[in-house]
């Protein structure tokens, strides 16, 4: 898996984020050890220039933590983060793990 190094929202330190392949709905998901974030997707779900960022989860943040009911909030999304995520995003045929390829 490809990684990017950045911070979002009120994070104090730069952390490593894993970039997932783009989802069918066009949403881009990135995940660190303690947070998960999403941006893009269907029109109106997440505003342009914003990302949905989970609150810090010491035991690990997962897809369910992207829900506002679990504390996820909208934060500003710098253009350089979007560009880095798009450049690092796995493409069809890329190997992302032992014996695992992107369809």
Domain positions in the chain: 3-91
Query: Which run of H or E residues covers position 97?
Result: strand 95-97
The pLDDT, as a whole number, for residue 78 is 95
Between 8-17, 66-75, 91-100, the lowest mean confidence (pLDDT) is in 91-100
Arithmetic mean of pLDDT, 13-19? 96
CA distance 36 to 83: 18
DSSP-assigned states of every residue in 22-79: PPTTSEEEEE-SS-EEEEE-STTTS-TTEEEEPPP-TT---GGGGSGGGT-EEEE--H
CA distance 99 to 43: 35
pLDDT per residue over 38-67, tens digit each? 999 887 789 999 999 999 999 999 999 999
**For the chain, percent of residues with pLDDT exceeding 70:** 99
pLDDT at 36 over 90: yes
pLDDT at 6 over 90: yes
CB 32 within 8 A of CB 20: no
The pLDDT, as a whole number, for residue 26 is 87
What does DSSP say about strands 27-31 and 36-40: parallel, antiparallel, or unpaired?
Answer: antiparallel
Q: What confidence category does residue 81 fall into, taking pLDDT thresholds of 50, 70 and 90? A: very high
């Amino acid at each position: 898996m490809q990684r990017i190094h950045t911070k979002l929202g009120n994070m104090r330190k730069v952390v490593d984020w894993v970039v997932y392949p783009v989802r069918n709905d066009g949403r881009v998901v990135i995940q660190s050890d303690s947070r998960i974030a999403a941006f893009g997707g269907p029109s109106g779900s997440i505003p342009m220039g914003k990302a949905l960022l989970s609150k810090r989860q010491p035991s690990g943040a997962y897809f369910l933590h992207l829900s506002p009911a679990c504390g996820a909030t909208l934060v500003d999304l710098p253009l350089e983060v979007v560009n880095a995520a798009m450049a690092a995003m796995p493409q069809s045929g890329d190997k992302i793990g032992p014996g695992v390829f992107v369809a």
